[in-house]
Amino acid sequence: MNQPAKIARGKPEDARSDVIQAEDLQLLDEMHAAHLIKSLYDTVTFRPFGTADKRLKQMDLSLGAWMLKFSGIIPHAVSGPNQFTKHYIYIVSTLRQPTLALSI
């Protein structure tokens, strides 16, 4: 459509009014700015599971969750009652030795 001709013709008498009035544009701009600020605030202050640590973004990847999985409190593929007994026996026997020879 030719826009200059449409503007020159003007609005017909029986045309519907605009959905957004000119005085509403300022209000819409302010609402949009408030929405952007609120979404930024929510992103920065997001706290999953009520934790106070702002670095935590995903609970399953936290150190505490891995410790619970590793110990077997939360069932996981790496946990189990006899999963690390060989490592435990090795560490305990190494620590019970009177001196450790460190080679540098």
Q: Where are the beta strands (DSSP E) in 1-104?
A: none
Domain-located, residue 37:
yes
Domain-located, residue 41:
yes
Structure tokens at 2: 């030719």
Domain-located, residue 104:
no
Stretch 14-24: mean pLDDT: 79
Q: Is the dihedral of CA 70, 71, 74, 80 positive or negative?
A: positive
Number of domains in the chain: 2
Do the Cβ atoms of 85 and 91 come closer than 8 Å? no
Pair 24, 47 in one domain: yes
Domain-located, residue 44:
yes
Question: What are the distances in angstroms from CA 8 to CA 17, 38, 66, 96?
Answer: 18, 42, 70, 96
pLDDT higher than threshold 70 for residue 42: yes
Which domain range does residue 28 map to? 20-56
pLDDT higher than threshold 70 for residue 104: no
Question: What are the distances in angstroms from CA 41 to CA 4, 9, 33, 36?
Answer: 44, 47, 12, 9
In this prediction, residue 101 carries a pLDDT of 58
Pair 67, 85 in one domain: yes
